[in-house]
Amino acid sequence: MDTSDPLIQFDENGVCNHCIEFDNTIKNHWFPNDEGRDIWTSIVNRIKVIGSGREYDCILGLSGGVDSSYLAIKVHEWGLRPLVVHVDAGWNSELAVANIESIVNHCNFDLHTCVIDWEEMRDLQLSYLRSGIANQDVPQDHIFFASLYHFATSHGIRYILSGGNIATEGIFPQAWHGSAMDAINLLAIHKKYGDRPLRHYKTISFSQYYIWYPFVKKMRTVRPLNFMPYNKDVALKELSAAVGYKPYARKHGESQFTKLFQNYYLPTKFGYDKRRPHLSSLIVSGQMTRDEALARLDEPLYAPDELEIDISFFCKKLRISRSQLDELMQVPIHLSSDFKNWGRRYRLLKRTQEVLVRLTGKQIKIYS
């Protein structure tokens, strides 16, 4: 990490706040050892008991990326009965489709694909490009989680399994991101820059996300990869041997939108190279040395001919010209906080939580 993260701080020894936070806080939620195995065994047993008598005992979100794909074959080994849910936002690479099919067939899982209305997704993504904010993945990320959560609660399934993990995502510069779950922010950006109503696009409200799902519906999202020694290279080898999984050239290469967004839009417009937090995460989790990571950073983000092919596809998909894309790359930069958001509600909720903790003496750590 470097000062492309405007909030980065270094102590007197030159150690940055990301490493300090990882060692002091994040690492305490990562159990790549016997303790993690025992904790996860207990959670698996609980999922099976609560899901007893139902067709499915959990939902597994599958994007086709390495993390969720590896989790899928592990879920099969644990004897869980997931309904696999894939959200098609219109940007799947052909390789991602093939990988998903291979995994589902190998595990004999049922697959439910939520296909998002393309005209609405297109309009929302163009709205975000016009807004000039950094996190252009929000329209895809929000509908992914919204679809999972709505589907789970409507079918009485209490557990959602996520491939999110500390081993490969432990470093996360907050300044580069706006909340993907903030529907107020999403709708405010679309209201200002969108051209058509969102009649089918599902969102999650603040009360649903923080109160209704976790406390009323008792829904839980769990991250199994945090309870095992998860190594990306080892995972790829296992996936290749088990299902013939084909890796992507880049992280999140399963989405053609995310590929261009992370490797062209962010570094060109904002100076953010997403490889920095990705590689830093592998360093602090012991999967890579710093010298190896620096060597990776010396490699080009794109080969020129590949970039032109991807830009051409991107423009054709969104039905804009190359000159229009160039104009979008030049719009003034904004923060997501420049638009209406649920920040005030969140701060009020945290204050309420602190009061309840003082009154009851119990920690409240439930989240959806």
Q: Whose CA is closest to 236, among 227, 249, 255, 223? A: 249
Q: How many CB atoms lie within 10 A of CB 278?
A: 19
DSSP string across 301-329: S--HHHHHHHHHHHHHHHT--HHHHHHHH
Q: Which fold has domain 17-360?
A: Rossmann fold (3.40.50)
Q: Rounded mean pLDDT of 334-342?
A: 95
Q: Which residue has the tokens 């098609």?
A: 88
Q: Whose CA is closest to 168, among 249, 76, 275? A: 275
Q: How many CA atoms lie within 13 A of 150 on its CB side?
A: 13
Q: Whose CA is closest to 265, among 274, 253, 278, 277? A: 274
pLDDT digits (tens, 9 = 90+) for 27-75: 889 999 999 999 999 999 999 999 999 999 999 999 999 999 999 999 9
Question: Cα separation of 64 and 57, whole Å?
Answer: 21
Q: Rounded mean pLDDT of 165-169?
A: 93
Question: Cα separation of 274 and 313, whole Å?
Answer: 22
| H or E element, residue 78 | helix 66-78
Q: Whose CA is closest to 264, among 320, 329, 321, 322? A: 329
Confidence of residue 368 (pLDDT cuts 50, 70, 90): very low
User: What are 141's two structure tokens?
Assistant: 């990320």
Domain residue limits, the chain: 17-360
pLDDT digits (tens, 9 = 90+) for 142-161: 999 999 998 898 888 999 99
**Residue 354 neighbours by CB under 8 Å, 6+ apart:** none
Confidence of residue 366 (pLDDT cuts 50, 70, 90): low
Determine the distance from the C-alpha atom of residue 236 to the mean position of all C-alpha atoms in its chain, rounded to a whole number: 19
Q: How many CB atoms lie within 10 A of CB 341?
A: 21
pLDDT digits (tens, 9 = 90+) for 299-315: 999 999 999 999 999 99
pLDDT digits (tens, 9 = 90+) for 104-125: 999 999 999 999 999 999 999 9
User: What are 94's two structure tokens?
Assistant: 């052909």
Q: What is the DSSP letter of 262?
A: I
Stated pTM of the model:
0.92
pLDDT digits (tens, 9 = 90+) for 172-218: 998 898 889 999 999 999 999 999 999 999 999 999 999 999 989 99
